[in-house]
């Protein structure tokens, strides 16, 4: 709320509208749950919003709509400020190597088992696409 008030005072239309959209998504969740959302549930809503922005950016790029790409990227930057810091590629690679060693996975046929364990451990800390790509790479060796 403080960020929304600041954005309104500073006439930062993009930040104001992005925060309002995110708050509306959280409020819709709370209405459907009939209770206040937990912190994890709020973070899930924000992650979905980020994912939507990324997909929109890809679609607008394909359609050569750079004006809309810039708008979506600005919203994406604002939303990511509210999410916890994501693990880097090297940290994800290290975590996957440990998981693969623990599970004794030897090849691509154990991809499902490795991904299940990795996503349960790294939920909210790493992008699923990155985890998937690195797991495939490590299991292919």
0.85 exceeded by the pTM? Answer: no
Domain ranges of the chain: 2-80, 89-140
Q: Which CATH architecture has domain 89-140?
A: Orthogonal Bundle (1.10)
- 30 or 85, higher pLDDT: 30
- Which segments within 6-116 are labelled E, that is strand? none
Q: Are 3 and 18 in contact (CB under 8 A)?
A: no
Tens digit of each residue's pLDDT (9 = 90 or more) over 113-136: 999 999 999 888 888 888 999 999
CA distance linking residue 112 with residue 117, whole number of Å:
9
- Hey, what CATH class is 2-80 in? mainly alpha
- Tens of pLDDT, residues 9-58: 999 999 999 999 999 999 999 999 999 999 989 999 999 999 999 999 99
For residue 73, give the 3-state DSSP assignment. Answer: helix
- Rounding to the nearest 10 degrees, give the CA dihedral for residues 121, 126, 127, 128: -20
């Amino acid at each position: 709320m403080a960020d929304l008030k600041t954005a309104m005072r500073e006439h930062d239309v993009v930040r104001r509208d992005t925060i309002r959209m995110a708050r509306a998504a959280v409020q819709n969740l709370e209405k459907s749950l009939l209770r206040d959302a937990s912190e994890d549930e709020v973070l899930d809503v924000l992650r979905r919003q980020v994912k939507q922005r990324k997909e929109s950016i890809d679609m607008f790029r394909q359609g050569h709509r750079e004006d809309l790409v810039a708008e979506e990227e600005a919203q994406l930057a604002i939303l990511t400020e509210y999410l916890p810091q994501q693990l880097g590629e090297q940290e994800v690679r290290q975590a996957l190597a440990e998981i693969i060693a623990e599970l004794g996975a030897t090849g691509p046929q154990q991809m499902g088992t490795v991904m299940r364990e990795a996503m349960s451990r790294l939920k909210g800390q790493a992008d699923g696409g990155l985890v998937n790509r690195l797991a495939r790479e490590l299991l292919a060796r």
